[in-house]
Every structure is written in C-alpha cells, then in structure tokens.
Amino acid sequence: MLEGINMIGDLEWEVPIGYVPDMRVPGRFFLSRALAETLEEGAVRQLANVATLPGIVKHSLAMPDIHWGYGFPIGGVAAFDMTEGVISPGGVGFDINCGVRLIATPLTEADLAGKKRELIERLFSAVPTGVGAKSALRVSNKDLTAVMVDGARWAVERGFGTGADLVRCEAEGAMPGADPDAVSAKARQRGVPQIGTLGAGNHFLEVQVAREIVDPEAAKVFGIAEGQVCFMVHCGSRGLGHQVATDHLRTLESALAGYRIHLPDRQLACAPIDSPEGRAYYGGMVCAANYAWANRQVIMHEAKKVFAELFGIDYDAMRLIYDVAHNVAKFERHDVDGASTEVCVHRKGATRAFGPGAPGIPREYAGVGQPVIIPGSMGTSSFLLHGTTTAMQKTWGSTCHGAGRVLSRSKAKKEVRGKELREHLAGEGILVRAHSDSALAEEAPEVYKPSREVVRVVHEAGLSNIVVRLEPLGVIKG
Amino acid sequence: MSFEELEHTADVLMRVRGADLAEIFADAGRAMFHVMYGPCEDRGIERQFSLEAENLESLLIDYLSELLFITDVENIVFCSFDVDIRGTRLSAVLRGEPFDPARHSAGSLVKGVSYFGLEIVKEEEGYVVEIIFDI
C-alpha cells in the first residue's frame, strides 16, 4: 500500500492534509484491501490535488473505481461552498454527462433464442456508432438550442419516447441553468450532426438478462424481475460536450491568474462559482449535459423500435428504469455541519446515489432511493443498485460509476487479440459487434477491475445497495 | 515517427520529441491522428489555419483542439502536418484524405487534450513534451 495513507475503516482510507502542499481538507476514498493493490500513486496525488482547491467542503473523495486521470481522479467527488468555492471542468471531464440508462423489456432470455445475432446486427444498424458516426436526424441550429435547454424533453416532444421517460431520468433529463450563449459556434457545429450517435471508446449498448435478484422488494419497485431481458445505453454529449469542455477549460486557464488561484495541476483550472467565467462554464456545461440526455433518449427510442419490430412486442412495454449522469457538476442541498446547505458537487466518473426520501428522485422510487446503474465490461456483470442515507452523509450522495481500468490501452492491445476476445465471448453466449477488433481489445473485460468487487465495496460501505445483477448477452460497441 | 505511447491506465499518454518546436507540433498532431485513425494517405485534401496564444503550451493545446474540431466536423483524416512557429504564433498546413470507415475505424476517439503535466521542455538535442489525450 502507498505510504502516507491511513486506513480508517474496513473499506475507507484517508489521505491526510500534507500529502501534497496546500491541502485544505483531507482526502477520503473507499477501497477493499484486494483492490488496494491496483491503486496508483498518481490517482491518490490527484485526489490530494483536488483538496487544494478553494472552498472545498469536508473532504476530497473518491469511489472504489478510482484511477489516474487528469485534474480530478476518475471516481472523484468533491463539493464546493457556493460563496468561497470554485467550479472546474477538470472535475467534470471532457465528456460532459457521459452516463448510462437501463431499460427493461418484457422478454426473457428464451425469447431471444435464434434471434440474438439478428437483434445485435439490427441494433448496430439502427444506432450510429464509432469514430466518425453521424446521425440520420436533421437538426437545425434553432433545434439545437432547444436540445441544449430542454434535454430529453426535446427528444420526447419530437416523438423519441414518452413523457413517462422523463421522470425516470436524473434531473428529469434536463438540468436548469442552460446558457446557449456559453456554447461556441464550434461546439454547435459538432453537436448538430451527432444527436442519436453512440460514440466510441467505452461507450456501448448492451443487451442483458437480470440473472440474480439480490433485493426483491427494491427490484419490484424498480420494475425488474429475474430472467427479464434488459438493455443498457452508455454514452455522453459527443463532440458538443468535448468542445464545451475544451473552450471553457481554455478560458478558465487564462483567467486563473486574475483570481489569484494557484494550482498544482493546470487541468484543475477553475473560477469562483459566482464569477463571469464560472457562470459561463456552468451554463455551457448544462447545455452539454442536456444534449447528452437527449442523445441517450434518441438512442433508446431507436433500440426500442428494433426490439418491438423483431419480437412483436409493444413499444410501451419496454420501460426505462432510470438514467444517471457520470460526469457533471450540480448545485445540490446537503447536510453540512447539521445545516441544509447548497453546495456545488462535482462528480467525475461517479454516480449520484441519493437515498430514500431525498429530493430530486422519482416519487415512485422515493421509499427505496434512486436507482444506481453500474455497468460491467462486455464480459462481466452489470449491477442495478439503490442510493442510501449513508451516501448522503459520507459522499454527497455519490457512488462509483463503473469498474475502473487497471490496464492501459497500449498494454491491452499487446495482450489481447480482439478477434480471439470476440470469439471467446461468443463462446460464452455474448455476441459483440464493433467496427474493429482492435477497438474491442482496448475494452476487454480483463482491462477493468472486477465489477463484482467494486460493487461489493460500495454495497458493504453502504454507499449504494445491490438490487439486481445483470449478465451480458450481446453488445454493440463504438 | 518521433512519438511513443507511454503507460497510462485510463487515457493515452504520448511522448513527442523533435529537433525544433515546429517538429514537436507536427508530430504531436501526427500522434493524435495515429491514436484516432491508424493509417492515412495524402489524397489531396488541404486545410490551413493560424493561431496565437500566450505561451507555447496553450498554443499546443489550441492547435491540437483545432485539429480535433476540423476532423470531427469535416470528416478529414490528416497525415501531413506542416507547422511554422514564430514566438507564440503558429500557422499550420494540413493534408490528408476523407474519413473512410473501412480504413479509419480502428482507432480511439480523442475527446480532448489535457493540460495535466503538459510542459514543452528544451533539451540538448531538441524538445520533448508529454501529452495526455482523453479517450
């Protein structure tokens, strides 16, 4: 284990003030001893760097999928005081509101027999994927403004889904505070042709089966039963979000000196929340986040059409369980020293995990807590969990977002042959469709921490509790 | 090629070496397109742009971000990077070909260029810089 870090509980670790100069608060992260072997010094240093930012409240946090990124570590969570604190694109990432949604179909695994390959091929045709993918949708610049303000609601109003979908999205599929003027012409140019496209890298659409119901009561509330076929959509705000992040990071980097903020890492460039640059970033980030919700809504709609046509089932019989964001900064009310206080929570590669009764979660789920969706990695289990009161107390209502990589892409390509991987997964009944085998190799299951162990940590640490374990049946990759 | 991929768990970390700044910038562009698309040929498409920034590191970020923008919007894959640097002002002439899914889909989409650890260092025999591309 790394020097200078203290274990303060079975699954909880502290990075004390002084680990790097100028820390204002300690760092805290959640990890099992088994996963501690995978911990990188660079990730801990990044966690400590976040603790130097002005106005950070209580702790710089990281979830058990912590790994080395840039700016914040991936898996990083931090809340900032609304007056003294800052907002930082480095705490959100380039793919604003990269997130995941889970949809339950009325089918069972047996219903897919003999049709699985056709299903995966049809999904691959219906959803543009990969580098250079363009949408079949024609969207005007005016439409794009509506997308950035209305998010998933824009998609529903255009016929991509139903109103019932909206309440089952975090922030009901559109955060308030969008400022289309904070989105550059370049970002718009990138956004117009990409609505309804999956993207590349670790983005995917995966068909799954609910293999194990761990919490029957919560599963019933979420509307999912053992053996039910589901699908999961993982993607973000595409080029529009990347450009918003690039543009504002540049502006904030130039503005740093004016605010007399000294940083250990320029990727943590930031500005006071209530400053022209801070407000502009927030307004632009919200636009990108809303674009991402519209994007996932359109993709879900196209996938549902494929299921409906191929299996002769009703479109409305497929139910969105929930949609969660991974990379976003939000103004939320949390308990700070006994008082309900508004703070700016950054989650970079982390999932909101609000507990029972917390504001902002669908009424139908209020007694259980919000659904939390943790994807696996093609060959490994994904999980549906629920948020908890403990998460509200310890992590600003946050939990992990995935398994977390342990192997670099270059090593993955050296050690894994994409074709063999595809054949191996097919042998296990998992059909994978991608534009290239080398892209598959980079995302092989073995390049990630075991999703079961990561999820076990958040479950046992009480940050979110497992409801259902899902196994992959087929995947389309970007 | 005067770039090499170093170990990085989540993203792609590239070390680029060059005899002068123009070479560093050209090879940084080449490295980024190598990550995204793999092989590329000059098929007569040309684009050019100029930029100015307050320091060389910001100039490098702006230049690579501009390349990302052009490739995303215009679907062009570049293979020739001719860069001229005067102080903190840059002009670039790029040549390449239209994106072809059959030949260019093997790479990884670069979402952005990170400032993390970015420093253009002058050494005895030239310059070196390490760049993280967010994948």
Q: What is the pLDDT of residues B27-43, one digit of tens each?
A: 999 999 999 998 899 99
A394 appears as a binding residue in the annotation: no
Edge-first strand order for the sheet with A339-348 is: A6-7, A12-15, A27-30, A56-70, A72-81, A339-348, A327-336
Q: Tell me, what amino acid is at A323?
A: D
Chain A residues at the B interface, defined by Cβ less than 8 Å, are 40, 67-71, 74, 93-95, 130-132, 186, 189-190, 199-201, 239, 242-243, 245-246, 249-250, 253-254, 265-267, 269, 405-411, 435-436, 438-439, 442, 478
Q: Which two tokens stand for residue A64?
A: 């058990």
E strands present in A49-98: 56-70, 72-81, 86-87
Q: What are phi and psi of A119, to 5 degrees?
A: -60, -50
pLDDT of residue B1: 57
Chain-chain contact of B114 with A74 (C-beta, under 8 angstroms): no
Spatial CA neighbour of B16 closest among B135, B131, B94: B131
Is-contact B23 B8, C-beta < 8 A?
no
Chain-chain contact of B12 with A269 (C-beta, under 8 angstroms): no
3-state class of A104 per DSSP?
Answer: strand
Chain B residues at the A interface, defined by Cβ less than 8 Å, are 5, 7-12, 36-37, 54, 58, 61-62, 65, 68-69, 72-73, 75, 99, 101, 104-109, 111-118, 132, 134-135
Number of neighbours of residue A2 by Cβ within 10 angstroms: 14
Type and span of the H or E element at B131 = strand B126-134
Each residue's pLDDT, cut to its tens digit, for chain A (478 residues) gives 678 999 999 999 999 999 999 999 999 999 998 888 889 999 999 999 999 999 999 999 999 999 988 899 999 999 999 999 999 999 999 999 999 999 999 999 999 999 999 999 999 999 999 887 888 898 999 999 999 999 999 999 999 999 999 999 999 999 999 999 999 999 999 999 999 999 988 899 999 999 999 999 999 999 999 999 999 999 999 999 999 999 999 999 999 989 999 999 989 999 999 999 999 999 999 999 999 999 999 999 999 999 999 999 999 999 999 999 999 999 999 999 999 999 999 999 999 999 999 999 999 999 999 999 999 988 899 999 999 999 999 999 999 998 877 888 778 878 888 889 999 999 999 999 988 887 788 888 888 888 888 999 999 999 999 999 999 999 998 7
Residue corresponding to tokens 């992260």: A29
List the domain boundaries for chain B: 2-6+17-134
Chain-chain contact of A411 with B65 (C-beta, under 8 angstroms): no
Residues 6+ apart with CB under 8 A from A245: A89, A92, A93, A94, A95, A96, A285, A288, B111, B112
3-state class of B130 per DSSP?
Answer: strand
Q: What are phi and psi of B94, to 5 degrees?
A: -115, 140
Active site residue A401: yes
The percent helix, strand, coil of chain B (3-state, each to 5) is 30, 40, 30
Chain-chain contact of B58 with A435 (C-beta, under 8 angstroms): no
Q: Which two tokens stand for residue A4?
A: 């200078």
A402 appears as a binding residue in the annotation: yes
Number of neighbours of residue B112 by Cβ within 10 angstroms: 25
Buried b / exposed e over A205-229, threshold 16 CB at 10 Å, is: bbbbbbbebebeebbebbebeeebb
Cα separation, B49 vs A114, whole angstroms: 54
* Least Cα separation, residue B69 to chain A (angstroms): 7
Residue corresponding to tokens 């139903």: A162
Level-2 CATH architecture, domain B2-6+17-134: 3-Layer(bab) Sandwich (3.55)
Chain-chain contact of A409 with B107 (C-beta, under 8 angstroms): no
Residue corresponding to tokens 């919700």: A293
Please name the residue of chain B whose CA is at the shortest distance from the CA of residue A193: B73
Cα separation, A475 vs A430, whole angstroms: 7
pTM of the model: 0.97
Q: What is this model's ipTM?
A: 0.95
Residues 6+ apart with CB under 8 A from A272: A54, A55, A85, A86, A87, A259, A278
Catalytic residue among A59, A401, A424, A459: A401
Task: Residue B61: list chain A partners with CB under 8 A.
Answer: 250
Q: Out of A67, A406, A442, whose CB is closest to B108?
A: A442
A191 appears as a binding residue in the annotation: no
Q: What is the DSSP letter of A193?
A: G
